[in-house]
Amino acid sequence: MISKKSLIILGLIMTLLIGCSKEDVMKPFKKDSTAEKEETEVSKPVEQNKLPPTTLKKGDKGQDVKDLQEALIGLGYELETTGTFDQDTVQHVKDFQGQAVEMAATGIYDDTTKQWLKKANEHAFKVEPGSGISEKNITTDKDHVLKVGNPKSKLVLVNKNHALPDGYEPPDLKIPDVPFPFDEDIPKKYMRKEAADALEDLFQAAQKDGYKLYGQSGYRSYKRQVEVFKNNANQMGEKKANQISARPGESEHQTGLTIDITSENVQFTIEENFGDTDEGKWVRDHAHEHGFIIRYLKGKEDITGYSYEPWHIRYVGKDVAKVIHDKDITLEEYLGAN
């Protein structure tokens, strides 16, 4: 085998014979500096944005906030690195959080948000700025109540500020195979199929643990809600009535995803002390395992707009229900609704 040194000498001899330059002879043995630079740049790992180690919320200031803002900008969000956790930053954080089931769109930067930002930086989680909190297809009526554009979604938000479209009736209603304290085939026995099937699983699990639950009031039409609210308003005044019942179009019962439940321990009534019964405590601890949440929590009245109702359960699906239960938050807080 001819050595590298011998090849160089041979090349120099050939240069003299055919007139090639020394530079041409040495070219095969030189490493292209441009290629070397490109190779270095390719092999160099992409530097990740520094993610703040501490919890941050609206009003916070400093370098950690700047780092968070830079991380969001790196994902395509348009905001300024002011170092102040202002409302604009809150909205962008909410939008990011709204794109993963495991995060509640609270607008607060926490450990869970940090983990998902890291995944996004590593391209293990796709982010589309603007798709996490969408108000597309939402209209506002004369009382400034939002008309939701996704009434069929199991995460549809229905409350005093978000009403169902006029005339909405849910599809695929069925009667869940669970006990009721009455025999009549009437609308309030019905729920949407997915929610009804989940309710059957919930009641069976309770039965297995020694607790018997009863369904009391599921689907309620717009027309029926008119009657319910009118009766309550006549008895206690409109303002008080709206603390315990919804105006027509603003009731979750109209979605077909909600049901009021009861037990023999409260004589099959709808009472707050249901939450103190063994059945009520079991529901509080296990409803999320079957996709349900206690919709109106104690101490959250200023957020939900309604009094504590331990009997009122809402179907949202197992993944979302677990997050809401574990964080002890409301559906409004999970969705980032103001």
The overall average pLDDT reported for the chain is 85
Give the residue-averaged pLDDT of 169-191: 96
**pLDDT given for residue 155 in this prediction:** 93
Residues labelled as active-site residues: 309
**pLDDT given for residue 131 in this prediction:** 83
Q: Check whether 39 has a pLDDT greater than 50.
A: no
Instruction: Kindly indicate the confidence band of residue 147, based on its pLDDT and cuts at 50, 70 and 90.
Output: confident
Q: 3-state SS of the chain?
A: CCCHHHHHHHHHHHHHHHCCCHHHHHHHHCCCHHHHHHHHHHHCCCCCCCCCCCCECCCCECHHHHHHHHHHHHCCCCCCCCCECCHHHHHHHHHHHCCCCCCCCCCCECHHHHHHHHHHHCCCCCCCCCCCCCCCCCEECCCCCEECCCCCCCCCCCCCCEECCCCCCCCCEECCCCCCCCCCCCHHHCEEHHHHHHHHHHHHHHHHCCCCCEEEECCCCHHHHHHHHHHHHHHHCHHHHHHHCCCCCCCHHHHCCEEEEECHHHCCCCCHHHHHCHHHHHHHHHHHHHCEEEEECCCCHHHHCCCCEEEEEEECCHHHHHHHHHHCCCHHHHHCCC
Place of tokens 């001899």: 13
Residue-wise pLDDT tens digits, 214-260: 999 999 999 988 898 888 888 888 888 887 778 888 999 999 999 99
Q: Check whether 324 has a pLDDT greater than 50.
A: yes
**pLDDT given for residue 192 in this prediction:** 98
Q: Check whether 7 has a pLDDT greater than 60.
A: no
Q: What is the pTM of this model?
A: 0.76
Q: Check whether 140 has a pLDDT greater than 80.
A: no
Average the pLDDT over each of 46-50, 55-59, 121-125 and give the range with the smallest value: 46-50
Give the residue-averaged pLDDT of 136-149: 58
Give the residue-averaged pLDDT of 166-189: 95
Residue-wise pLDDT tens digits, 51-71: 999 899 999 999 999 999 999
**pLDDT given for residue 21 in this prediction:** 44
